[in-house]
Structure formats: C-alpha cells, structure tokens
Structure 1
C-alpha cells in the first residue's frame, strides 16, 4: 500500500482529500505546514508528497526545494496541489522541483491517475 504525505494547511481540505484517497487504498500522512511537512517527509520517507503551495511559514515552493535538496528525500515525487491556476504558478512549481501539478478543487479521478503514474502503478484499479 502506497504512503502519501499530504501537506495542506486547510483542515477541511486535508480531511476530505485524506478520506477520498484512503478509500482508494492509499495510506495518508498529513502535515499542516511546510516545516512539519519537510520534517515528516524526512522521518517517514513516503512514496509521494501532495504539496499545497500556499502554506503558512515556509510555502510549498520552499518546502519542495528542501525535500528535493535532501539526498534522502530527493527521489520522492512531489505533486503541487493548489488553487493557483496561473501558468506562472505552474512554471514556478516545476522550477521548485515538483514532479506534477494539479488544481483545487480536486478532481479525484485525475489526481489518482497522476499519483498512480508517478508511482508506476498506472494499470491499478482506481
């Protein structure tokens, strides 16, 4: 079972996304901010990170840079998950090291497909 770290400051979003992905067979770890997310990522080494970009403290861009700068976590795929839908935000997410980008509100089918692709499990049932 794949472990996903969801770094999201909005508690309602965190709970809803966690429940939806758990129903799809994923194990979820959560962090409410960038600092905690980077720390938890290094401690637990999840299979994938879902990163909100608009986090308090260090934002998702900086948290992603820190995850990708650490040899222990640099290979973990990071998906930017954000309400920011501008092309410049997408480009900035990729420049920070994100492996993919998805927008809120979450389209669960699309998000799960991206997660499965990044985990090399495209053929798995949704």
Structure 2
C-alpha cells in the first residue's frame, strides 16, 4: 500500500534491518472513536480487545497466515508485526474497514471467537 494514510487511523510502518519487518499500530486516542461498539457487546475496547478481534479475524479469514503475524499489544496500543507485508496489509484492510463501518465492527465483535475476544 503506497499511501500510508489510506489505512488511517491505523499506522503501517517499516521497521528493522537488515531484513525488512513491518508493524501495524492503532493508538488509544483513535480507539476511543469506536469504544462504544466494543462496550455495547461487553468487549474490551483497548489494545488487547483489538488484538483479540484481529486474532479472531485472522483465524477465521486468514488461517494460512496466522503464523506470519506476531501480536504484541498493550492496553493503550494495538500492535501486530510481520515480515510478510502482504499478510499484514490484508489484516490492516479488514480492521480499517471495520473501524469505519460500525455495523461491520459490531458483527465482527459478535462473531469473534471467544478464545481470542472475551465478551
């Protein structure tokens, strides 16, 4: 994805050398914009909640790429990294779409695997 703002409010950055690695972030100030959707379904709306949602989406929609994504969120920041830019971008597009469509986000939360996202 050549335009980093296309995924806003998510941030996709290249990190690491000599081998390229990539990291996708969502910060707490941005999470607040849709926190009510998580809370409506008794799910945590912080970094760990987004991580659980993302892990559930990977499990159901991208199972062949699960081992390529490495989660490391904290309460105030959602973080996932990978050396596979395509896998990370595919997840970013799913999350970005949900962030900007409350109905879709709600559906993803409701159908999330409880192993990943407690409700």
Q: TM-score category by the smaller chain?
A: 0.3 to 0.5
Task: Flag the structure with higher helix content.
Answer: 2
Higher relative contact order (CA 8 A, sep 6+): 2
